[in-house]
Structure formats: structure tokens, C-alpha cells
Structure 1
Amino acid sequence: MSTLLRLSCPDRVGLLALISNFIAQHGGNLIEVHQYTDAAAGWFFTRMEIDTRTLKVDLPKLREEFTPVATELGAEWTIRTAEAKRKVIVMVSKFGHCLADLLWRWHSGELDIEIAAVISNHEDFRPMVEREGLEFCHVPVDPHDKPAAFAKIAEIFRFVQPDLIVLARYMQILPAEVCAEFSGRVLNIHHSFLPSFVGANPYQRAWQRGVKLIGATCHYVTSELDAGPIVDQEVIRVEHFHTPEDLMRLGRDCERLALARSVRWHLDDRVLLHGQRAIVFRD
């Protein structure tokens, strides 16, 4: 069993030693430590995995005693048990390859998560989802009354209180107020190597430009379309003889990989956000 500490704060001398000493004083044995200092921004980031079995106090007490330390540092931080199962909502439209990949990883135990619901504006994937014993929520989006649909979606979010919302090729734009309310908890897979070819049909435009690399970008959702902090990108080389359909096929592989890695890193507390950047301590 292990406990995860994730922290970011203004940089100063001795931060790593200070935090490590606090953990040692409470009997904690460090299993894994990642640290990064952004010298330009003057900001410190760390993720520590602690052997829970050696701790002298329970988790609530550890949080209580670390709070004044973190407050003095001006830190943003979390402490939780690594074994706590994280709650996830997946959203999808008409393309199911990312959903199918996530379901396979969940079914096989690779992603040890609770999929609380799959939300879609279409009925296409209801059989796939319900076959796994999961809840499928069909929320159609009327182009003449989109606020009604997104109000219902926001209600589901608030009821479930997910640790992560995954837009697995969900082809609707979440309103700014929903993005703000769930900031840092919504991941989107974009079928392009951002910042190039934003929008709905990037493979056709990539083919028209004769690109030699295509890719996919997984990023956090913000009110600005396809502009949130980037967690991961996957690329593949393409040739002049590849058609737009070939690019779509190759691109789907990139999308699955980038999304699966990003979901895992987010749920393992390996991502720390700072402004428009995502600091990722890869596994």
C-alpha cells in the first residue's frame, strides 16, 4: 500500500529536504520521488510515493499535520491513498475506438477505475457499454437548444463528482461555465498534433498540406477550443501515398495511445498544472 503526495509551490532553497524530512519524521519511507523546478517561473513541483505501512499516523492525521507546512509554503497539494479507486465519466459521439480501448483497459484491470457512466449524444454505443454492465446516459444535443443538454450533463457531473471526465472523441463543445466548474478534471483527445489543424477535420487538411507526420494530442479542456494544457502527444510518420482514409486509420492508433497514457497519468496524480502548462511525471 502507498500514499501519494503531489505538491507545487513557489520555489526556494531546501524544499525537497523540508518535505522529505516531514515524511521521515512521520515514519514514511519514500518509494518513488519526482521533482522539477521551473527556473523561469520560479515554481517547484514534486510527486512522492510513500510506503503507507511505515507511517506512524493515519491519512487524516497526516493531512492535518502537513496543512500548516503547505500553507507556509503557499502550496497547492493533495495527499491520498494510491489504492483509492478513482471515479471516471467517459463521453463519446460517433467514433468509438477510444471508448473501446478504455473499456478494454478497464476490463483487463490495466485501468483500476470505476467507470461511473458513459455519456453520449448518440445511441450507437449503448450495446457496447451496457454489455459491460455500465450505465449509458443518452443526452441528445438539440442544435437549437444546446444549453438544455449541457445543463443535464452538468447535473450528472455534479451528482457523480468524478475524479476525471474523458472526452473520448465527444464532438460537442462544452460551455465555458462547465469547463470552469470542472477545470483540471476534463481531458480531451484531439485528432491532430496541436497546435496545428485545430477543429473538426484535421486529417483532410493534413493530407492537403502533404505533412510527413501526423499525431494526436491529449489536453485539458478550457473555454478556449483545443487550447488547454497538453498532457501527451503521439506521432507517426506518413508517406506521400497515404490517402486521407489511411491518415485517419493511423491517427486512430495515435489517439488511443495518447488518451490511455494521459488518463493513467492523471489518475495516478502524475500531472501538475501551472498556467497553460502540464508538468507530467511519467511512469
Structure 2
Amino acid sequence: MQIELSEKHALVTGSTAGIGLAIASGLAQAGSRVTVVGRDRSRVDKAVAHIHQASGRDDASGVVADPGTAEGCQAVIEARPEVDILVNNLGIYGALPFFEIDDAAWEEIFQVNLMSGVRLARHYAKGMHARGWGRIQFISSESALNIPAEMVHYGVSKAALQGVSRGLAKVLAGSGVTVNTILPGPTRTEGALGMMAELAAERGISVEEMETLFLDENRPSTLLKRFATPEEVASLSVYAASPQASATTGTALRVEGGIVESIT
């Protein structure tokens, strides 16, 4: 299968590192012109340079904005009024006991994890619908189906993404625009490795040992038995953005290593 996206423009939020950068790089390697979105100019520029090296072209660009706010989403829209592929990857997480999650924490995680994607999809879906082709993705998590006790607010925000994605897919039924969620599991991103390093230091073990221990204690149903790489997650996203995935819409695509105990 040869994925060809040379006539398409993709925008990926939260794409200066981790899964977002891997997705942006994968889309660029498939031929797409890519826009990176991040809050820090130096990190955006570094990501753009990385994508240029990966793709062998120099048509990637960056927008410095924070889509976790309404103002930031508007800045992104003004900078890039139209795109063909929208990947809502921006997200935050962090372990916090339920009784310590105050209203401000709930509000923040919903603004960043949910409303950033809602606002951008609300704008870009209109143009995609008018043109008769488009791809919208929400990067969710296995935590949407398996709400973690250590960060309930995160799991709930990702579950909400599932609802938005399915509902928007119905709104765009028959239009040529597909809408899906991608569900990664534990992945070796910068943030996850930082968290593993902190936990490893507390227990006096290596990061590699901590990854195994984390899975044993928190995700014992994993079939992969290791953290995934950002590139493994990105491969599914790139496929879902391709013309070949034209009949895949309104669904949750898993790349979570078999953690979810379900055959459906």
C-alpha cells in the first residue's frame, strides 16, 4: 500500500514532540504539507526542521499558539484558514487523587483536551464538507475506555472526545469527510518518560524497570508488554488520514497494545 497525500495540507496540534511530532512527520513523509502547532517558537522551529529532514522537503511550517484556549484556536484558524487533514493531538495529563481534583483542574483538562479539538473541528469541518473531502482525528487514549483511578479527570476528558468524534462523524455522514479517534496506550513520549524517570527515582530502579513495573501495576492486561513508540501510533494516524481509509469513519481505532479487555 502506497499512501499518497501530496495534494493535502495537514494541521497537527501539540506537534512539537512525542506522538504529535511523529504524526506530523509521518504525514509529511506521505507527501502532505504540514503545519505544526505549539506554544514555544523555538520548539516549533525545531519540529519544523525535524519534519523537513524526515520528508526531504521544505514545505512544513509552524504556528505559535495555544489551542487550549479560545484565543489560541482563533489564532490558529486565522493563520491557516483551510486544511484537508486535522489531527487534534493536543492534550495534558497527570496523576492526581480524585478528591484533590478541584474545579479548576477539571476545567483546565476539558479546555485543553476537549474544547481545543471541538473549536478547531467546528471551523475546519465546514471547508472540508464544502470541498467533499477531509480527515478529522481526535487523539484519545485507552484511558477513555478504561478510566484510570489515578487520573479520573483525564480519562473522562478522553471519553468525551469519543462522543464528539462519533457525533461529528454523523453530522458529516456521506460528505467524504471522515472523523475518527485514535486510542494509544502507554507510549514513550517525552512526558511519559519524564514521569517514569520520577517514579523510578522514588523506587531506586532504572527507567526501563519502572516501565515494566508501571505496566504490571497499572495496565496488567497489556498484550504488548512494553510502551509503544510514537512512530507506532503515528502509523495508524497516517493510514486513517489516507484516501485508502475512506470507509473508516465514526470509530475508535486502537493502538494501545491490547490493554482494553474487549473483542469489539
Q: TM-score range by the shorter chain?
A: 0.3 to 0.5
Q: Which has the higher helix share?
A: 2
TM-score (norm 2): 0.47
TM-score (norm 1): 0.44
Q: Which has the higher strand share?
A: 1
Task: Return the index of the structure with the highest Cα Rg.
Answer: 1
Higher relative contact order (CA 8 A, sep 6+): 2
